[in-house]
Structure 1
């Protein structure tokens, strides 16, 4: 076999990526092993963010031996961490094609990756003590509190994401991100916000793995103070949820009501309501081996990649369920319960938990995605992430299908009924 790349029949293949440390002043003298580079899967924005923060990232990957922890906490303002990224869609056709979906809008899954990458960069900015002799904190995504799409995001119009730290606890940080796209130069700024997101990061000591204190936050403007107070209230609510689920009135009756119709499906399927469907019949499943190209700077699987994959299967689940192209509305909540490592066998299981049919013009489809890290060698399977998405159907698609109707989802088991009630109650608590 001729392996000579100069042969006229050979097509040479070269890397389209460069190391995020290539621009480091001393990169030639301290070349990092490739196993310590961030993965090569990531979007152009993620690559740009990591390149912009290359000095911090290089210290994160190669801290001094026996480096002490940060000795004194600093006080920072939201403006010190505020960062924006710009998508030049109107003139950069290559970038535009990388983000285009079949409906000429921005791919939401890819945007979720960028949001996580930007939030991570901002958390690094806020927690850095600018001292190269101390060991850096390990910052991980703990949860996504909410991501709400306010309007469709076109892939033909320039886009900007602006984000900053809005709240800090003892060892946790909340970051708010706004995706801005203006179709009119004179339009109000609030009208230009296409999507909002709130990410929560937690800090861990890079050696012990225990919770570590983070730099304080001092909001300056009235809006910054308002956002801080709102985030403080959300933090208290999350703590209440961890203590125990709020008891709602008539819970036994609610469970029985949900299960009654499901029993008819199981016991007398010929007589079941044709406008309803069992929860288990809405399920889809996907599995993958987590590859090195998908890792973050800590060598674990990038949280944005997990959200991207979860969104794709949630979208597919809503599509198969509704029979029409779904329209994404929001990420209700995401929990990052345990890290996912390179080489892990990851199973994603999705289902439609429940539907809301009160508004016939915008029926809601609530989809749950659960990610399991599976270890066949030791017969182990652990939940690593839970994701909750809300979809509706595209108005233009619904208009073409006369008599379109979304079916009601009913549980067949008490465990399914409790999952539905818990999610409904969680939504009520956040309203």
Structure 2
């Protein structure tokens, strides 16, 4: 397992020229660009596992006989602020292998001038290996586990795969909401869902009114080794659109909490027209702190001749208002489809709070976590 470990150090504090390239509108670091690097690092680590640590270049995919793509991102959780700006280390390693899949754990750390380290972000990428000619599943080299710490990481990766399977079975696209979820949805409808209720019009926001979209052409400069649009680039685009939507809704600057999931269903071809649609799905209850908002961004490729759109990616993000205030505005669905998205957002906010709490407690307890 340790042979797959890789890291990149970005010297923001010691290189003003590099920091300038990553500066956001608030004078901090562009989180979307760092996510793009994490995706690239996860892909490099997956190839390192398949090719061996001594191989420095990929070469031609057809000659290798296989290629690796990102299937999904289970989570990326921000555990500490990017301020003040410090040198930053991105690292990761393969922690689990299946028949044709790999789990890559990644970490982002701030490096202090005194040699101290602070974990900023943790996450996991699910990578799949495909045959370069048939595009069917290609076997992955099994991991060799040698230490108790590696065994613990392997079990984390294994449980992640099992958790994704369970979540898929419990998805609202397959099973109805629980009785408690249905009751809360009905209560929200009775309280805020009446069209002519003037008492809540200043606080209620219809989900359909939160749509924010962007359409753009995909250029060859953003291609990956498979001659498709690089997944990390899409991650950055969707992050920035979702961030803008969260700011509009909160009427405040927001702080990134988590990437709650990404599904990569189809590759995005070079020279295609990409449409990104962002929508607010759920918010924390009025008065609750921190005030959080869950945002969905869907990427679709548009066929110019027919006008047909095909969904390629589905991204879910959570941001929090960073001024310490709550927000009285709440999202209210109108249709049954919106109601299911509303419940998905509610589940994501609850799950994210639990996971961040566990990870922060583990870091405060100084438990060995390697790249987790």
Look up the match of 1:83. 6
Tell me the distance in 1 between the aligned counterparts of 2:163 and 2:217: 36
**Contact conserved, 2:286 with 2:329, CA < 8 A, in 1?**
no
**Contact conserved, 1:106 with 1:155, CA < 8 A, in 2?**
no
CA RMSD of aligned residues (A): 2.4
**With structure 2 as the length reference, what TM-score do the two structures score?**
0.85
Higher CA-based Rg: 1
Cα distance, 1:241 vs structure 2: 2.9
Cα distance, 1:423 vs structure 2: 3.7
Cα distance, 1:270 vs structure 2: 3.3
Cα distance, 1:355 vs structure 2: 0.5
**Contact conserved, 1:255 with 1:414, CA < 8 A, in 2?**
no
Q: What does residue range 137-216 of structure 1 map to in structure 2 within 5 Å? A: 137-154=66-83, 156-183=85-112, 185=114, 187=116, 189=117, 192-216=118-142
**Contact conserved, 1:144 with 1:335, CA < 8 A, in 2?**
yes
Which region of structure 1 is more displaced relative to structure 2, 340-349 or 299-308? Answer: 340-349
| Aligned: 1:355 with 2:277 | no
Look up the match of 1:368. 296
Measured against aligned partners, the alpha-carbon deviations of 1:352-381 in whole angstroms (never above 9, x if no partner) come to: 111113764311111111111111313321
Structure 1 residues 220 and 418: CA distance shift in structure 2, 3 A:
same
Which region of structure 1 is more displaced relative to structure 2, 274-283 or 338-347? Answer: 274-283
**Contact conserved, 2:104 with 2:126, CA < 8 A, in 1?**
yes
Query: What secondary structure is seen at the aligned counterpart in 2 of 1:139?
Result: strand
Which region of structure 1 is more displaced relative to structure 2, 358-367 or 339-348? Answer: 358-367
Cα distance, 1:300 vs structure 2: 0.2
**Contact conserved, 1:128 with 1:136, CA < 8 A, in 2?**
no
Tell me the distance in 2 between the aligned counterparts of 1:414 and 1:348: 22
| Aligned: 1:224 with 2:154 | no
Cα distance, 1:142 vs structure 2: 0.6
Structure 1 residues 355 and 103: CA distance shift in structure 2, 3 A:
same
Look up the match of 1:284. 212
Tell me the distance in 1 between the aligned counterparts of 2:13 and 2:96: 34
**Contact conserved, 1:150 with 1:193, CA < 8 A, in 2?**
yes
Look up the match of 1:37. none
Query: What secondary structure is seen at the aligned counterpart in 1 of 2:270?
Result: coil
Q: 1:92 aligns with which of 3, 6, 15?
A: 15
Structure 1 residues 169 and 96: CA distance shift in structure 2, 3 A:
same
Look up the match of 1:114. 37
**Contact conserved, 2:192 with 2:204, CA < 8 A, in 1?**
no
Measured against aligned partners, the alpha-carbon deviations of 1:96-129 in whole angstroms (never above 9, x if no partner) come to: 1011113332110110110011111111111126
Tell me the distance in 2 between the aligned counterparts of 1:174 and 1:145: 10
Tell me the distance in 1 between the aligned counterparts of 2:226 and 2:67: 8
**Contact conserved, 1:255 with 1:418, CA < 8 A, in 2?**
no
Q: 1:391 aligns with which of 304, 319, 333?
A: 319
Q: Which runs of 5+ in 1 are unaligned?
A: 1-77
Q: How many residues are treated as equivalent by the alignment?
A: 343
**Contact conserved, 1:318 with 1:367, CA < 8 A, in 2?**
yes
Q: Which runs of 5+ in 2 are unaligned?
A: 355-372
Measured against aligned partners, the alpha-carbon deviations of 1:183-204 in whole angstroms (never above 9, x if no partner) come to: 36364x5xx1111121111111
Tell me the distance in 1 between the aligned counterparts of 2:23 and 2:322: 17
